[in-house]
């Protein structure tokens, strides 16, 4: 039932291209009909030439042979061209549509998938659909038309012959392949899963190569890959066995059909029910019909692969996004005197199964103020900051931007107001220039230079032989940690958004680099409403307010001086970091 529904959904994707599909079907019929015409008429001519005294009487069959001889290659070529065109256009469209569906799922839902698995779905699974679109849809319709056509021709000579021929065609074209398809369906699904796991193993192995080498685990990773390969080969062997079996059965049915029909026809000829001159014609016609249903017979067992791939793709497109777009969105807010945020009694849980990680967060953040979120690891700093860009929505309570619920703005509008720098801002394997332009396409070189100066990266860029056109490697691997962070800051400066989220920006840096970067951050925060999540209590005196989070609650709030005076959790964390007390004393 599920397979039928998937098939129906996959077929509905063809609707926008229905006229091209129809044309491919017409061309397919023409190709097969001309093949049948060529073979059938050739057989008839040979038999008839012996008994027909004047060649002129054979003018029509001769014309048919000449016409079909030319029509066959032309229609074959046009049909192939068109089918491939339709299929690969559709696959490209599906791939983009699935990819676009990934974006609203990020980051919440995507965490449940592995990168290799997503890669496999977008590349290999989409490719699997070609079995359906290229080799099943049009060939199926063509095969049905051919069956009807064959039946009609045989019926002219004898209804008995017609029904027997049709029965054999149905068994060869549909019965055998559907039987094999039932056997291969679960294998096809397993094959896709194993291929995805294989890709994931390779992607993970490459991403974690340094740690694998450091821990001497590279052998284990190759063993894992070898095990997956072995499992995959086993499945592929079984699939090859079944496909071979299917081809053998098809040939067997075809031979049985040929002999049965020939014997029947000879009996009918001997009883004068059929003119003997048509015997060769009928024999070649049945051979041509079997040849016509053969592509479908070969493709049908692979239908299981397409259905399994379709199910895996629909699992992505059907997943509900972590956050929804508003039904009636408010226009993008424009506030000349800045943007304030207010968290109204917010509770948050990552999923219904998990407990709340934020409890009753109730705080207003004035426009253009700098607020630090500090607290022990896991206290909820990043989670709270991420609510601002609606990576997730609050489970209870409301987050307002200048008094309006953030859920009432288009996601794009809301996010365009926020600049984000995290400890692992993603840098693309591209030039410095293009990594910056991500924040504002079309920015001039002067704009780029200005933000590089502010981010104190201009001198570094000047030392590079290719300047802004230098490739920075995958994830900015050719840059040091400090340079990567400065580039991320320059990017945020270029975006020039009025709200800023800084999440552990200095976490991976040495004290000297951290110190230098704090000045850069200072200029970035200038005039922007800033949430600065950090567990490092440095430069806290530059903050207007500090919120100390503990187990998802605001445990303390105030300025650096007020919190130190209070002698609470903040003081403990501060003393611990500055080696004033030891961990045991806290
Ligand atoms: N995607 C997620 N799914 C489920 N739980 C999560 C997820 N991300 C974080 N958590 C949990 O939420 C809690 C708060 O995590 P969060 O990352 O916000 O803390 P943090 O204060 O920023 O920590 P750190 O300083 O270590 O970055 C933790 O218990 C963490 O395990």
pLDDT value at residue 550: 95
Query: Cα(501) to centroid of ligand 1, in Å?
Result: 16
Q: Does domain 2-317 have CATH number 3.40.190.10?
A: no
Confirm or reject: Cβ of 381 under 6 Å from ligand 1.
Answer: yes
**Of ligand 1's atoms, which has the minimum distance to the CA of residue 385?**
18
- Per-residue pLDDT of 292-312, as tens digits, reads 787 777 777 778 888 888 988
- Check if 529 has its Cβ closer than 6 Å to any atom of ligand 1: no
Check pocket membership of 350 for ligand 1, CB cut-off 6 A: yes
Of 439, 426, 435, the closest CA to residue 492 belongs to 439
Are the beta carbons of 425 and 502 closer than 8 angstroms?
Answer: no
Domain with CATH 3.40.50.300 in the chain: 422-496
3-state secondary structure 347-415: EECCCCCCCCCEEEEEEEECCCCEEEEECCCCCCHHHHHHHHCCCCCCCEEEEEECCEEHHHECHHHHH
* pLDDT over 90, % of the chain: 26
Smallest CA separation from ligand 1 atom 9, residue: 383
Cα–Cα distance for residue pair 62/60, rounded to 1 Å: 5
* The pLDDT value given to residue 583: 45
Rounded distance from Cα 269 to ligand 1 centre (Å): 85
Q: Which of 21-25, 31-35, 107-111, 321-325 has the lowest mean pLDDT?
A: 107-111
Average pLDDT of the segment spanning 273-297: 77
The reply to whether ligand 1 has any atom less than 6 angstroms from the CB of 107 is no
Domain with CATH 1.20.1560.10 in the chain: 2-317
Which atom of ligand 1 is the closest one to the Cα of 552?
A: 14
Query: How far is the centre of ligand 1, averaged over its atoms, from the C-alpha of 556 (Å)?
Result: 19
Ligand 1 pocket residue status of 364, Cβ below 6 Å: no
Using a 6 Å cutoff on CB, does residue 535 contact ligand 1?
yes
Residue 418 pLDDT level (bands cut at 50, 70, 90)? very high
Q: 372 CA distance to ligand 1 centroid (A)?
A: 17
| pLDDT for the residue 586 | 43
Query: What pLDDT, on the 0 to 100 scale, is given for residue 229?
Result: 92
pLDDT for 429-470, tens place per residue? 888 899 899 888 888 999 999 999 888 888 888 888 888 898
pLDDT band at 227 (very low <50, low <70, confident <90, very high): very high
Q: State the fold for domain 422-496.
A: Rossmann fold (3.40.50)
Output DSSP code: residue 160: H
**pLDDT tens for residues 118-150?**
888 888 889 989 888 888 888 888 888 888 888
pLDDT tens-digit readout, 444-455: 999 999 999 888
pLDDT higher than 80, residue 115: no
Q: Is 550 in the pocket of ligand 1 (CB under 6 A)?
A: no
Residue 147 alpha carbon to ligand 1 centre in Å: 63
Between 24 and 508, the more confident residue is 24
Long-range contacts of 444-451 (CB under 8 A, 24+ apart): 447/494, 448/494, 451/490, 451/491, 451/493, 451/494
234-275 tens-digit pLDDT: 999 998 898 888 888 888 888 898 889 888 888 888 887 777
**How far, in Å, from the CA of 384 to the mean position of ligand 1?**
10
* Phi, psi angles (nearest 5°) of residue 362: -135, 100
Q: pLDDT digits over 493-530, tens only?
A: 899 999 999 998 877 677 777 787 788 888 888 899 99
Question: Which span out of 175-189, 241-255, 534-548 was modeled with the highest average pLDDT?
Answer: 534-548
Alpha carbons 559 and 546: distance in angstroms, whole number: 6
Give me the pLDDT at residue 383, please: 93
Residue-level pLDDT at 111: 63
Spacing, Cα 477 to ligand 1 middle (Å): 26
Query: What value does the mean pLDDT take over residues 535-561?
Result: 92
Is the entire prediction scored with pTM above 0.95?
no
pLDDT tens digits along 351-394: 888 889 999 999 999 999 999 999 998 999 999 999 999 988 99
CA–centroid distance, residue 382 to ligand 1 (Å): 7
Cβ(387) – ligand 1 distance below 6 Å: no
Would the pLDDT of 477 be above 70? no
What ipTM did this prediction achieve?
A: 0.97
Instruction: State whether the beta carbon of 508 lies less than 6 angstroms from ligand 1.
Output: no
Q: Which atom of ligand 1 is nearest to the CA of 379?
A: 21
CA 354 to centroid of ligand 1, rounded, Å: 12
Specify the residue for token string 């390969």: 229
């Amino acid at each position: 039932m599920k397979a039928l529904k998937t098939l129906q959904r996959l077929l509905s994707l063809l609707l926008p291209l229905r006229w091209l599909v129809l044309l491919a079907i017409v061309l397919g019929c023409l190709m097969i009909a001309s093949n049948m015409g060529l073979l059938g008429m050739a057989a008839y001519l040979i038999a008839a030439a012996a008994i027909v005294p004047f060649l002129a009487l054979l003018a029509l069959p001769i014309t048919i042979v000449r016409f079909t001889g030319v029509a066959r290659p032309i229609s074959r070529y046009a049909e192939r061209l068109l089918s491939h065109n339709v299929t690969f256009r559709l696959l490209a469209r599906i791939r983009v549509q699935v990819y676009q569906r990934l974006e609203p799922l990020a980051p919440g839902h995507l965490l449940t998938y592995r990168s290799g698995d997503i890669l496999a779905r977008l590349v290999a699974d989409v490719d699997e659909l070609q079995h359906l679109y290229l080799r099943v849809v049009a060939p199926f319709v063509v095969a049905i038309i051919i069956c009807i056509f064959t039946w009609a021709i045989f019926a002219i000579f004898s209804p008995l012959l017609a029904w027997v021929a049709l029965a054999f065609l149905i068994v060869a074209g549909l019965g055998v392949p559907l039987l094999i398809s039932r056997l291969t369906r679960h294998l096809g699904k397993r094959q896709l899963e194993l291929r995805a796991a294989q890709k994931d193993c390779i992607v993970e192995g490459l991403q974690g190569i340094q740690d694998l080498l450091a821990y001497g685990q590279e052998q284990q990773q190759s063993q894992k890959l070898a095990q997956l390969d072995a499992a995959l080969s086993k499945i592929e062997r079984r699939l090859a066995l079944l496909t071979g079996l299917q081809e053998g059965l098809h040939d067997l049915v075809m031979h049985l059909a040929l002999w049965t029909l020939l014997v029947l026809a000879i009996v009918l000829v001997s009883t004068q029910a059929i003119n003997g001159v048509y015997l060769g014609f009928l024999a070649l016609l049945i051979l041509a019909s079997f040849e016509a249903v053969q592509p479908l017979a070969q493709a049908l067992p692979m239908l299981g692969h397409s259905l399994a791939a379709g199910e895996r793709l629909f699992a992505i497109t059907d997943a509900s996004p972590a956050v929804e777009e508003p039904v009636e969105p408010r226009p993008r807010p424009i506030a000349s005197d800045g943007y304030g945020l207010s968290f109204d009694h917010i509770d948050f849980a990552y999923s219904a199964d998990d407990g709340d990680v934020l409890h009753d967060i109730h705080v207003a953040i004035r426009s253009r103020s700098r607020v630090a979120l500090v607290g022990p690891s896991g206290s909820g700093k990043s989670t709270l900051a991420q609510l601002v860009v609606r990576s997730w929505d609050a489970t209870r309570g409301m987050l307002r931007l200048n008094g309006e619920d953030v859920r009432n703005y288009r996601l794009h509008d809301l996010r365009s107001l926020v600049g984000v720098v995290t400890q692992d801002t993603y840098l693309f394997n591209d030039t410095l220039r293009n990594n910056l332009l991500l924040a504002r396409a079309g920015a001039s070189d002067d704009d780029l230079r200005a933000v590089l100066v502010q981010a104190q990266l201009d001198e570094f860029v000047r030392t590079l032989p290719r300047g802004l056109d230098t490739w920075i490697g995958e994830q900015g691997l050719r840059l040091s940690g400090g340079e990567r962070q400065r580039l991320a800051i320059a990017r945020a400066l270029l975006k020039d958004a009025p709200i800023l989220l800084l999440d552990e920006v200095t976490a991976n840096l040495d004290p000297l680099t951290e110190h230098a970067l704090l000045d850069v951050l200072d200029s970035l925060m200038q005039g922007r409403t800033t949430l600065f999540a950090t567990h490092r209590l440095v430069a806290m005196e530059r903050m207007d307010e500090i919120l100390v989070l503990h187990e998802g609650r605001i445990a303390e709030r105030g300025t650096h001086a007020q919190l130190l005076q209070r002698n609470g959790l903040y003081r403990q964390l501060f003393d611990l970091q500055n080696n004033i007390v030891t961990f045991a004393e806290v």
